[in-house]
Structure 1
Amino acid sequence: MRYPTELPAALLALAQAQEGLLSSAQCERHDVGRSRRAGWVRSGRWRVVTRGVVDTIPVLPRRRTVANVPRDALGPFVRTELDLALRRSSRATAATHRDRSANDRLFDHLRRRAGWAGLLAYGPEAIAVGGCALAFLGVEGLPPVIRPEVALPRASNRPDRPGVRLRQFDDGMTTVAHGDRRTGTRLIASPEWAVAQAVPELPLDHGLAVLDSALRLELLTPAGAARAHDHARGRRGIALRHELWEWADPAAESWLESAARWQCIEEGVPPDVLQLPVAGRSGRRVGVGDLAWRLSGDTWLVGDLDGFDWHEGVERSERRDRDRDNAFAAAPGIHLLRFDSRHVRERTVGRQVREFLRTHRTAPNMQLRTF
């Protein structure tokens, strides 16, 4: 990604940290005045995001690729006040630092860009809330495109900005600090409040994925998730989403798994186990099944959510998946159904699992759940 060479080094570093965005006030502090900004906008080198905020990446967000993502953007804030007293588990640490695909990095950029757009539009008092706070916190499962949203202590005294949602400040809302030496300290809603604000407004599968991710990253403890549920009560949309808290599980390892699991829940066939260890005939573990249903005795149906499409065509990953498929097929008592992101997008996972169980389970619970 290229920036105008005329940008001062400190302002360039700030734009990198903020996913390419700058506020008018920040530009003025670095002697980049209105006329220079207007000239770069007219030339197409910069774009106006909303009043008082410019995007220094000329490519439209919907046309961006991972090559347009700033290399030195401020990373996700995966830490809570509990860290001073408790160490996060190795599982949560591994989830935080897992390898990210090109699409993951692009979507993370677009979500955090939305968060910065709101913060920069409303200045130092602004607090990132809802989905934007979750994006800053590093929670997975949000839709690829989210709307900028912030809260202000005195929101009624401030005019709306185009494209930015100004939310009512929640009584009792707690915040955490986010930022580095480039951006300074900004405030975002704490994990409990961000989840409470976002989940009632998300599609059901995304809502479950957000809860799964917050628990997996240990941004929420079970008690914290219960408090988030309490904070969410009474919000528009929560009546259809109470059961998401019952199904949330930190064992889900990706948004894809959470979405597939929700389709199975909707079809009345929730998995019995997440992350089932699968042993070969020698007794040695050959893999872990993402979703599993007990058929009878030691016989299982395993739903695997990996594959060529999910790995973006990487040859090594494709070969690894084939090897695991063969190992699962040879494992005693294992029936394998393989799914990728296309099955999830087309919402066929739950239906295929239900049809399999209809013919193979000795005493299936086939009651369709409705929400």
Structure 2
Amino acid sequence: MPRRIVVPPALLGVAARQQSLVSRRQCREHGMTDQQVDALVSAGRWRRVLPAVLDPRVPADGRFDALDRSRRRGAIVGALALPGSVVTGVPALVLHGAQGAPRRVLPEVTFPNGAPRRNGKPVRVRRERLQRWTFVDGVPCVTAELALAQAVPGLDRSHAIALMDSARRRRLVTEDGFRRARELARGRRGAARTAAWWGLSDPRADSPVESQARVDLVDAGYPPDAVQLEIFDEQGRFLARPDLVWFLPGGRVVPVELDGHEAHSTPEALFHDRRRQNALVARGARMLRYTGRDVTRGVVVPDVRRLLDAEGWAPRPWTGDGPLILPRRAPT
């Protein structure tokens, strides 16, 4: 390959923002010819993703882990493959920053005028006229509100609720916007099947793992009495904010924490977790902790069921406005 082919630094900057993806149109806009692009691909310096989408192999975006980068690539590629289009549905939610999408994100777009387009590429093209859209890192996307309405009817329940929870938690949509999204979903294919799921969403959920565990427990008849409840000791010192909490007779509690590996793997984090757990146990708490793998394997529901049944639990939804004060219990 001739050495004179030099990739403009500005184009590499565009690729870095787009998870190492550029379109042929962007290459031309930065002064490169199709022949130069094809030569780079032939030499193995670049990789062809789709006929009009290339991978210049720029360094990975440090803001995201490998799975999130893969999801974002799937979300971006549709807009690059079909210039003038706007990203829709799950891909738009991914670009807006919602968590809980399927591992593989398939590209989908629409054209603002809603006109049909022939598409021989592996990109879904919706026919939906748009009144407005936005740009996320330079990529045109429908609003998070509309993206939810488009995405939920086509998803399984676990991913749909996780994305709804995350969009609300991260304030990608307001509560009014969430209600509008629910209305916008009506009449779409799959809307009847998924209509009840909107009522299961909870903006307090801190992660997709928590969303899945909560809904599994609700299905089993053990809805948590509180979610993300702050717990303090009798002197006003912060003890914990468990993901899920149940109240037992006699003033005791069952806090459940759903851990991410990164957040709890350092020696400092493990020491802090152990000290916090000991403080809760000294106050009569029956602490349970699980990983995301435990949730996926179905370990959580049987464990919680056994404990709550043995302790005579009955639903007592938390109605307090502030934190829970948990005093130390006298030894028995």
Aligned length: 313
Distance 1:362 1:161, change over 3 A: same
> Identity of counterpart residues, as a percentage?
35
Distance 1:190 1:319, change over 3 A: same
Distance 1:347 1:42, change over 3 A: farther
Q: Which residue identity is paired with 1:177?
A: F
Q: Confirm or deny: 8 A CA contact 1:275 1:289 kept in the other structure.
A: yes
* Residue matched to 1:84: none
* Residue matched to 1:76: none
Match of 2:266 among 286, 304, 314: 314
SS in 1 for 2:241: strand
* Residue matched to 1:108: 68
Q: CA deviation at 1:154?
A: 5.1
C-alpha distance in 1, partners of 2:205/2:291? 15
Distance 1:212 1:7, change over 3 A: same
Residues 335-350 of structure 1: pairs in structure 2 closer than 5 A = 335-350=286-301
Gaps of 5+ in 1: 59-67, 72-99, 366-371
Q: CA deviation at 1:336?
A: 1.0
Match of 2:281 among 308, 312, 329: 329
* RMSD value, Cα: 2.5
C-alpha distance in 2, partners of 1:351/1:345? 13
Residues 175-214 of structure 1: pairs in structure 2 closer than 5 A = 175-179=133-137, 183=138, 186-214=139-167
C-alpha distance in 2, partners of 1:276/1:303? 11
Gaps of 5+ in 2: 317-332
Q: Confirm or deny: 8 A CA contact 1:303 1:337 kept in the other structure.
A: yes
Q: Does 1:118 align with 2:69?
A: no
Q: CA deviation at 1:189?
A: 0.8
Distance 1:154 1:222, change over 3 A: closer
Q: Confirm or deny: 8 A CA contact 1:8 1:30 kept in the other structure.
A: yes
Match of 1:135 among 68, 91, 94: 94
Structure with greater Cα Rg: 2
SS in 1 for 2:242: strand
Q: Confirm or deny: 8 A CA contact 1:357 1:364 kept in the other structure.
A: no
C-alpha distance in 2, partners of 1:312/1:126? 42
C-alpha distance in 1, partners of 2:136/2:74? 15
Q: Which residue identity is paired with 1:69?
A: A
Residues 1-371 of structure 1: pairs in structure 2 closer than 5 A = 6-57=6-57, 68-71=59-62, 105-123=65-83, 125-153=84-112, 157-169=116-128, 171=129, 174-179=132-137, 183=138, 186-280=139-233, 284-306=237-259, 309-311=261-263, 313-330=265-282, 332-363=283-314
C-alpha distance in 2, partners of 1:106/1:292? 32
SS in 1 for 2:295: helix
Distance 1:338 1:132, change over 3 A: same
Q: Which residue identity is paired with 1:32?
A: M
SS in 1 for 2:31: coil
Structure 1 residues 29-56: Cα deviation after superposition (integer angstroms, max 9, x where no partner): 2232222222222233222222211112
C-alpha distance in 2, partners of 1:24/1:362? 62
TM-score of the superposition, structure 1-length normalised? 0.77
C-alpha distance in 1, partners of 2:302/2:154? 26
